[in-house]
Amino acid sequence: MTTRTEQLRNAIPEAPTSPAPNGASKALTKKPDPARDLLASMESEFAACLPKMLPPDLFMRVALTGFRKTPELLECTRKSLLGALLETARLGLEPCTEQAYLIPYKAECTLVIGYQGFVQLMYRTGQVEQVEAEMIYEADDWEDSRGDGGRFFHKPNWLAEDRGRPILAYSYAKLLTGGRTKVEICTRQRAEYIKNQYAKSNKSPWKTGSFDAMWQKTPVRQLQKWAPKSAEMRRALIVDGATFDNTGEPDVDPNVIQGEFVEQTAAPDVAQPSDAPGAGQ
């Protein structure tokens, strides 16, 4: 019976080398594949960490695709790369996707949880009925008032010939017990501030065509202050934006405590301290 490792090894055909000179042998050999070999060597560790909903073979195929798209990941230190992969496996998220980004920067691999990853973890608490994470465009109707009798209202203008640019990202969760959480909102100005302050790597999703996804992540992450949290979610808030040391533990910025930034001086009305963790290298 073919094992998952063997399936992984045969998943993508290798380009053959040239035949031996002078026709000495017609046998062809396969080129080494560091990405596939590295993942195959870690299969048992992934299997021990992954939840049933994410089989090891699927996890490794998704990771392999990510390595193909971003070969710079293999230039990262092994401790940071394997630490990020194992942490992603523990959280049950798909690596190198909008659930969990793996970002190479100065030979270190940084794990950044995407907004889809946070949404997945919210549903897994078993206490959330629905998570709303949307963008408001210039042509949309909306209202956000706070205080007694305040309300939040958004009506997308689907029939507009041009809805214009997105101007706000927002998120809230409906709970199974009834009611909903507070609505968290992020302006474009705040998103641009976070990008400029924390997105250092050219491979950061802020800079590789996923700006809106990272903008969307900001209110989703902020929502965790009001939504029910599982042990997985608390862990995700800690490791979001972390690299990993030789023991596999997250090497978290000393300004971060339990996934939240200690109060610091920031541009007024642009970015709050707790927006910054996991902004992306």
Nearest to 235 by CA among 113, 57, 132: 113
Are 220 and 119 in contact, with CB atoms under 8 Å apart? yes
pLDDT at position 132:
95
pLDDT at position 200:
85
What percentage of residues in the chain have a pLDDT greater than 70?
Answer: 78
DSSP state of 20: P
- What are the pLDDT digits (tens) for 213-266? 999 999 999 999 999 999 999 999 999 999 987 666 787 654 443 333 333 333
The per-residue DSSP string of 185-230 comes to EEEHHHHHHHHHHH--STTSTTTTT-HHHHHHHHHHHHGGGTS---
For the cut 70, the answer to whether the pLDDT of residue 28 exceeds it is no
Give me the residue spans of the domains in the chain: 4-8+33-275
- What are the pLDDT digits (tens) for 123-181? 999 999 999 999 999 999 999 998 877 889 999 999 999 999 999 999 999 999 988 99
Collapsing DSSP to helix, strand or coil, 29 comes out as: coil
pLDDT at position 5:
45
Cα 237 to Cα 276: distance, rounded to the nearest angstrom: 11
- What are the pLDDT digits (tens) for 176-214? 998 899 999 999 999 999 999 888 888 999 999 899 999
Nearest to 64 by CA among 106, 3, 4: 4
For the cut 50, the answer to whether the pLDDT of residue 9 exceeds it is no
- From residue 218, alpha-carbon distances to 152, 174, 199, 206 in Å are 18, 18, 14, 12
Query: Which position has the higher pLDDT, 25 or 133?
Result: 133
